[in-house]
Amino acid sequence: MTATTHTADHADEHHDHKPYGLSRWLFTTNHKDIGTMYLLFGLLMAIVGGFLSLGIRAELFMPGLQILQPETFNSFMTLHGLIMVFGAVMPVFVGFANWLIPMQIGAADMAFPRMNNWSFWMLPPAAILLAASFFVEGGAIQSGWTLYPPLFTQSGIAGDMTILAVHILGASSIMGSINIVTTVLNLRAPGMTLMKMPLFVWTWLITAYLLIAVMPVLAGAVTMLLTDRHFGTSFFNAAGGGDPTMFMHIFWFFGHPEVYIIILPAFGIVSQIIPAFSRKPLFGYASMVYATASIAILSFIVWGHHMFTVGMPAAGQLFFMYATMLIAVPTGVKVFNWIATMWRGSLTFETPMLWALGFLFMFTMGGFTGLVLAITPVDITLHNSYYVVAHFHYTMVAGASFAIFGGVYYWWPKWTGKMYNESAGKLHFWWTTIGFNLTFFPQHFLGLAGMPRRIPDYALQFAEWNMISSIGAFFLAAGQIFFMITLYMSYKSGQPAKDKQWEGADSLEWTHLPSPAPYHTFEVQPVLK
């Protein structure tokens, strides 16, 4: 079952150069197939990471220890973070990139289709390593997704499995990014200058550069952890002359740009949806591009805001505080442009637009609490509290995930040829919005009241809001089961999608223009009609 050469005479159903069944997915070089696999893999990992979070919220439903031992709780929390960041959100956005970038720039496929296949198929082994680390001697790591030594250094074999998994995930991301950069820079249709590209392509081009810049830094950090554990070095071991604080610097030099690796493609999706449902071109296109690039550049000089509490010179604290606050400027430009796009537009509120608006309100909320935390003395009091948990879940869930849901509903007709059920989509949006805010808004109160994060038990005065937060989490999860059922039913028996599902509004996208494919993608130039 391979795609070897057959002459036309041999051609029958199973000899038309296309692999079928499992080999279609194993050997595929098609950007749409690979995009689908990334999306489904991300969904699977989101389910695993979601179950871990439900374990956490079940334990925190009331004070005392009921369900999880403290060690298991730590492992759940750690793997929830690692799996959601590296297994769910990042692969889902790469799935969007695979599906959309070639179509939006008029290329026939990604620049390196075989490397694209390999990028994807590196993910399952890494996921298996992480999942299997629960079942080895000593259990999964307990350090949190930040892998801080000395706690991480002391973990058992699971520590090495995690290091290997991070290496594989990083290699996959770097290969994916090289593919995206090369595709965008070399395979654009004639006439599509960089400043005419749809904004989703722009955000991914910039994200790919961020990934290429910082994934090797993370690889270096975990390699130093490995040699500290097994080869007698003391990079992060104070007893040997090293410094655990250095790990934090290296990790967050990766970690803060990583935040923007996750959120920039979300900005890109929202920048496609809002113009479509406002029936207007995006307001301030050029300023959107420059704002995205500014955010990316600034993201390299703010890492210290994650470590105000380690004891750094006042000059350092001031630098990282002001640099962090500076990011609010280009972010504000983007929010202004999204609102200006809607201004006097012919707005309609189909499901994708609801998600984009939910994103706008609640991501901005997460941005404001980020500004609060950027203030050094405030961060020093709130750093180890639930306020931080609330803050970054507003950016990661109400930010990244809301954009993902909006993008799924927006492009679902294009991906599947089927239309989803509009009422079900709207119900899913409101269900998720209520569940999300029920879960995470009270965590601001808990943090301000002094509840520490990363603990399986807490003092009695935190009981009520924790109970509400846990009920919200299970309600939120139930909404996602509803979402999966809805989309499955649409896929099986939905109405056929229209050619331009969004009534011409999506014609603002280049996807629909008959842009000729670039000649160097084909051995023989296809005839254009």
| 271 is a catalytic site residue | yes
Using the 8-state DSSP alphabet, how is residue 496 labeled?
Answer: B
| 258 is a catalytic site residue | yes
| 493 is a catalytic site residue | no
User: Which member of 145, 338, 502, 510 is catalytic?
Assistant: 145
| 306 is a catalytic site residue | yes
User: Which member of 202, 260, 394, 510 is catalytic?
Assistant: 260
Q: How far is the CB of 327 from Cu ion (least distance, A)?
A: 9
| 290 is a catalytic site residue | no
Q: How far is the CB of 442 from Cu ion (least distance, A)?
A: 24
**Exposed (0-12), middle (13-18) or buried (19+): which is 416, by Cβ within 10 Å?**
middle
Q: How far is the CB of 259 from Cu ion (least distance, A)?
A: 5
Which of the ranges 30-38, 256-264, 265-273, 357-365 carries the binding residues for Cu ion, by CB under 5 A?
256-264
| 331 is a catalytic site residue | yes
- Indicate the Cα dihedral angle 65, 70, 72, 76, nearest 10°: 90
Distance of CA 32 to the CA centre of its chain: 19
Question: In whole angstroms, what is the distance from residue 19 CA to residue 33 CA?
Answer: 12
Residues 69-108 that bind Cu ion (CB under 5 A): none
User: Which member of 306, 393, 428, 444 is catalytic?
Assistant: 306
Question: In whole angstroms, what is the distance from residue 50 CA to residue 169 CA?
Answer: 20
Q: How far is the CB of 411 from Cu ion (least distance, A)?
A: 30
516 in helix, strand or coil? coil
| 8 Å CB contact between 43 and 401 | no
Query: Residue 256 or residue 280: which is nearer to Cu ion going by CB?
Result: 256
Query: Residue 64 or residue 332: which is nearer to Cu ion going by CB?
Result: 332
User: Which member of 36, 172, 351, 376 is catalytic?
Assistant: 172
Query: Residue 256 or residue 393: which is nearer to Cu ion going by CB?
Result: 256
| Total residue length of the chain | 529
Question: In whole angstroms, what is the distance from residue 258 CA to residue 264 CA?
Answer: 10
Site string for Cu ion, 206-245 (x = CB under 5 A): ----------------------------------------
**φ/ψ bin of 338: left (φ > 0), alpha (ψ from -120 to 50), beta (otherwise):** alpha
| 334 is a catalytic site residue | yes
Query: Residue 31 or residue 334: which is nearer to Cu ion going by CB?
Result: 334
| 8 Å CB contact between 390 and 443 | yes
Q: Which of 167, 188, 256, 393 binds Cu ion (CB under 5 A)?
A: 256
| 8 Å CB contact between 87 and 130 | yes
Which of the ranges 66-74, 248-256, 424-432, 509-517 carries the binding residues for Cu ion, by CB under 5 A?
248-256
| 351 is a catalytic site residue | no
| 376 is a catalytic site residue | no
Closest by Cα among 507, 500, 514 to 279 = 507
Query: Residue 60 or residue 373: which is nearer to Cu ion going by CB?
Result: 373
Which of the ranges 161-169, 171-179, 255-263, 335-343 carries the binding residues for Cu ion, by CB under 5 A?
255-263
Which of the ranges 80-88, 220-228, 249-257, 447-455 carries the binding residues for Cu ion, by CB under 5 A?
249-257
357 in helix, strand or coil? helix
| 145 is a catalytic site residue | yes
| Helix/strand/coil percent split, the chain, to 5 | 75, 0, 25
- The size of the interface with Cu ion (CB under 5 A), counted in residues, is 1
352 in helix, strand or coil? helix
Residue bearing tokens 């807490």: 458
Maximal C-alpha separation, the chain: 79
Query: Residue 256 or residue 383: which is nearer to Cu ion going by CB?
Result: 256
User: Which member of 183, 207, 294, 331 is catalytic?
Assistant: 331
Residue type, 84: M
- Residues taking part in catalysis: 80, 109, 145, 172-173, 256, 258, 260, 271, 305-306, 331, 334, 453
Residues that bind Cu ion (CB under 5 A): 256
